[in-house]
Structure 1
Amino acid sequence: MGSLTDFWRYGVVKTARKLKAAALSPVLAARGDGPVRSAYGVLMVPNWQDTTFRYCIFGTYGSDLSDLLLGQREPFVFVDIGANQGLYSLIAAQNPKCRQIIAFEPVPVTHARLAANVGLNGGAERTVLHMLAIADSVGEVEISVAEGHTGTATLAGREGQSGGGGVVIHTIDAPLVDPLLAGELPMFVKIDVEGLESVVIAELAKTKAVARVEAIFYEVDNRWASAREIETLLRASGFTRFAKYGRGHHYDVLATRS
């Protein structure tokens, strides 16, 4: 994409959606506590106090990943690592070629919302939810959850992050991840773990299941993640093409094998 197009899509349009979310959320919240249909066409249980929820409802994240998921034309499995309230798991379930969704969301309150959203939209029979985080060790750790923005929950220990509380979650590493991804179909993986992307990718690379991963859509924030380190890990696992979506210090990348 050209720089002008990127500026329009990821600068002007995204900012406008954020402003719209801030302005209209109080109005919509006052209408009741029934399910809310998002800009992506999926239903979600109301959670208006949460910025992540508002971004889901007003389409602030744009259509890059949603278009990729809906555009898959061959049977596949979607693996949602850092699922939060489940937006992309719900979108993937709209594609009949998506035979299974495997979602990882370790924060108990957020996981409960994920489960409720899956129940609202159908497709629960092909969705497997794990209240687990993928890390380089097995055990219990405390995750930082920012008040009012569940999408920033992180194990990465970002400097200067405040305004949240600690929640104990369960972590698993590659040997325990592998059986959870067992199967034969190709996999499309989304990773959004707020700075721990390289750790998750390193663990995924140790599994037998990685051979079935055809694409990984992951978040990069240059303030606490190294794009070069992540790309090096992926190239070592056979990924050769990297398409950038976004601009500035915070963007997404689609890694594919060919």
Structure 2
Amino acid sequence: MKRIAKSTLAAVGLDVRLSRNVAQSQVAAWQQKQDALWAPFLKHLDIRTIIDVGANTGQFAELIHRHCPDANIIAFEPLPVCHADLRRALAEFPDSQLISSAVGNAPATAEMNASQFTPCSSLLAGTDLLGEDYPDAAVTETIEVPVVRIDDALQSLPLLDDVLVKFDVQGFEIPAMEGAAETLAKARVVVCEVCFFRRLYQGQPLFDEIYAKLKDLGFTYMGNAEQHKRKSDGRIVEADAIFERLGA
């Protein structure tokens, strides 16, 4: 009956698809768009180790797996609510590991502002601008999480060349990098979420400070992959900035 109905509707120019097929098509189109944005930054590299700092539920892991299918991944994520989905994403990687901690420049236990929109969770308190485009981001509760230095956490783990380090730590980028000096010395690529002219978190560094920090460490700014436009005026306010150590 379904086939007859679809044939009848098709005869008059109507295409009827199951809702799950529409959803799958939308996901495939979104992935294709993402891949087109990231490919220019990755296709010339042979990334073998990915250090995903602020892994959330594995969004970046799933993206990077399509470009670097043979890489292993070490993921840092302090939010317990994210761990089940993250473990499922990491299952696609050989020898993947989850380190259930936040990162900083000294080992500690700290209070994290856990956002209802989990990617916006931070060790820093939000400013009045947090939630400007996504109101759920400003709804938070405080939880206690361990904080580790990346260098300490990776001390006994082998890092296969080439290394990519991704920071998505919602304003805590500079302390995270300070605790990763040895790791960054081995890295070929750094991906860092940046804000350009507005601070969503108290004390958050803007792009210029992150650029200066990574330039001092020998990285060249190569451009942005994905960018986020402000809903109110269309200005680019956030982006995934790519930095590469050239000549390596």
Work out whether residues 211 and 221 of structure 2, in 8 Å CA contact, stay in contact via their aligned partners in 1.
no
Aligned equivalent of 1:164, options 97, 122, 140: 140
Aligned equivalent of 2:105, options 136, 150, 154: 136
TM superposition shift of 1:95: 4.4
Q: Give the aligned residue type for 2:163.
A: M
Aligned to 2:198: 223
Alpha-carbon distance in 2 for matches of 1:61, 1:169: 35
Q: How does 1:56-71 map to 2 (within 5 A)?
A: 62-63=34-35, 66-67=38-39, 71=43
Residue identity over aligned pairs, in percent, reads 22
TM superposition shift of 1:66: 4.6
1:84 aligns with 2:56: yes
Work out whether residues 134 and 200 of structure 1, in 8 Å CA contact, stay in contact via their aligned partners in 2.
yes
State the structure with more CA Rg: 2
Change (3 A) 1:181 1:250: farther
1:197 aligns with 2:173: yes
Aligned to 1:127: 96
Alpha-carbon distance in 2 for matches of 1:38, 1:83: 25
TM superposition shift of 1:76: 1.8
TM norm structure 1: 0.67
Aligned to 1:6: none
Q: How does 1:146-165 map to 2 (within 5 A)?
A: 146-147=115-116, 149-160=117-128, 161=130, 162-165=138-141
Q: Give the aligned residue type for 2:185.
A: A
Aligned equivalent of 1:239, options 215, 219, 224: 219
TM superposition shift of 1:74: 2.1
Change (3 A) 1:73 1:243: closer
Aligned to 1:176: 152
Alpha-carbon distance in 1 for matches of 2:113, 2:68: 36
TM superposition shift of 1:175: 4.4
Q: Give the aligned residue type for 1:244.
A: N
1:212 aligns with 2:191: no
TM superposition shift of 1:79: 1.2
Alpha-carbon distance in 1 for matches of 2:189, 2:68: 18
Alpha-carbon distance in 2 for matches of 1:177, 1:65: 31
Task: Judging by fraction of residues, say which structure has more helix.
Answer: 1
What root-mean-square deviation, in Å, do the aligned CA atoms of Structure 1 and Structure 2 show?
Answer: 3.1
Alpha-carbon distance in 1 for matches of 2:37, 2:221: 16
Q: Give the aligned residue type for 2:210.
A: I
Alpha-carbon distance in 1 for matches of 2:98, 2:188: 21
Deviation string, structure 1 residues 165-214 (Cα, Å, up to 9, x no partner):
1121110125413416533412111111111122222222x22x322201
| Unaligned runs of at least 5 residues, structure 2 | 1-17, 131-137, 200-204, 228-234
- Secondary structure at the aligned position of 1:190 is classed as strand
Q: Give the aligned residue type for 1:143.
A: M
Change (3 A) 1:83 1:66: farther
1:109 aligns with 2:81: yes
TM superposition shift of 1:62: 3.8
Report the number of matched residues: 205
Alpha-carbon distance in 2 for matches of 1:244, 1:210: 19
TM superposition shift of 1:129: 1.0
1:253 aligns with 2:227: no
Aligned to 2:13: none
TM norm structure 2: 0.70
Q: Give the aligned residue type for 1:130.
A: I
Q: How does 1:17-36 map to 2 (within 5 A)?
A: none
Q: Give the aligned residue type for 2:220.
A: T
Change (3 A) 1:126 1:38: farther
Deviation string, structure 1 residues 111-157 (Cα, Å, up to 9, x no partner):
222113334xx33x42111111111221211111222x111011122
